[in-house]
Amino acid sequence: MPSTTATTVPEAPAKRLFVFDFDWTLIDADSDEFVFKHLNTELHQEQLASAGKVQWTDLQQRLLGELFKCGVTKEDIERTLSQVPFAPEMIEALKLMKSQGSELYILSDANTVYIDTILKAHSIDNLFTKVITNPAAFDEQGRLNVVRFHGLDKKPHNCPLPCQPNLCKGREIQKLIDSQTWDQVIYMGDATNDFCPSTRLQNTDIVLARRGLLLEQEIRKRPYLVKANVLYWDNAQDVLSATHAIFEPCSPALQAPSIKLSDEMLPKVVSTTPNVQVQAVKA
Ligand SMILES: [Mg+2]
């Protein structure tokens, strides 16, 4: 005789993919700039003056050679990276995402050494499934070398959107999206090269765009290319609040259709602070 006792199968948690830009998104700095700003003022000035005139990754490779010639060691670079500002609320948000069963990836135009060192300094490297960025390594003498993620030996990616020749973030996020079946994809970024990945998301997905910076400008120029809901944030506390809202389906924060590109969420003028200028040349 069959049992009449009803069994309750717990509902599986939604499977979410979080993908993050790094500079001015997870951290409150540009890691490439931070290193030179704190270790060699002259090279920092050269970095700023050369930005936009030569390819950014190639520029870092050349300047890192100059930094090495000046006697800057691996330890100097690692110590400097450990001082990059990383807001506690951002770390809390990342831990919350991971604790809810989400997969976390970093998709960045920095490099593997900078990102790994910074994540390890905060003991959060284990939160991320993978870091997708320009490969870097110290050689035996302690000189840091960085090369393009999408190397010159490969066919150009020819992305029609504003991606850099060394990295089409849209192409890379698409591979992650296609790798599994996700209930929701969330992309977080701030710069021009974060626009292409934002266009790869669907209408149930979310773009977390840093307010007043160049990603917002791109979305405002071509909002019809972004199907996902766009949430604007200013600081890590906003990201933590948005993360709570994402994991609490009844939260009003994600229910109003007008959340996408509402006037209230869009500043009238995109900021022209020095941060934006640096971001503009990198991405
Ligand atoms: Mg960025």
DSSP for 170-202, please give it.
HHHHHHHHHHS--SEEEEEE-SGGGHHHHTT--
Q: Is 234 a catalytic residue?
A: no
C-alpha 217/C-alpha 269 separation (Å) is 9
CA-CA distances (angstroms) from residue 94 to 98, 236, 277?
Answer: 6, 10, 28
Pairing mode, if any, of strands 144-146 and 136-138? antiparallel
Write down the pLDDT at residue 12. 77
Cα 190 to averaged position of ligand 1 atoms, centre (Å):
5
Write down the pLDDT at residue 252. 55
Write down the pLDDT at residue 283. 58
C-alpha 32/C-alpha 49 separation (Å) is 14
Beta strands in 55-167 (DSSP E): 103-111, 130-134, 136-138, 144-146
Which strand ranges, in their side-by-side order, compose the sheet holding 229-233?
130-134, 103-111, 16-20, 184-189, 206-210, 229-233
Cα 107 to averaged position of ligand 1 atoms, centre (Å):
10
Write down the pLDDT at residue 7. 66
Neighbours of 195 (CB within 10 A): 27
How is the chain split into domains, by residue range? 16-282
C-alpha 59/C-alpha 78 separation (Å) is 20
User: Binding residue per annotation — 23?
Assistant: yes
CB 154 within 8 A of CB 205: no
Cα 1 to averaged position of ligand 1 atoms, centre (Å):
63
Instruction: List, run by run, the mean pLDDT of 10-residue segments along the chain (283 residues).
Output: 59 91 98 98 97 95 98 98 98 98 98 98 98 98 97 91 95 98 98 98 98 97 97 97 89 45 35 44 57
Neighbours of ion ligand 1 (CB under 5 A): 21, 23-25, 190-191
C-alpha 76/C-alpha 204 separation (Å) is 45
User: Binding residue per annotation — 190?
Assistant: yes
User: Binding residue per annotation — 28?
Assistant: no
Residue 138 φ then ψ, to 5°: -80, 140
Cα 168 to averaged position of ligand 1 atoms, centre (Å):
14
Task: Record the pTM.
Answer: 0.87
Residue 47, amino acid = Q
C-alpha 26/C-alpha 128 separation (Å) is 12
Q: Is 21 a catalytic residue?
A: yes
The structural architecture, per CATH, of the domain 16-282 is 3-Layer(aba) Sandwich (3.40)
Cα 20 to averaged position of ligand 1 atoms, centre (Å):
9
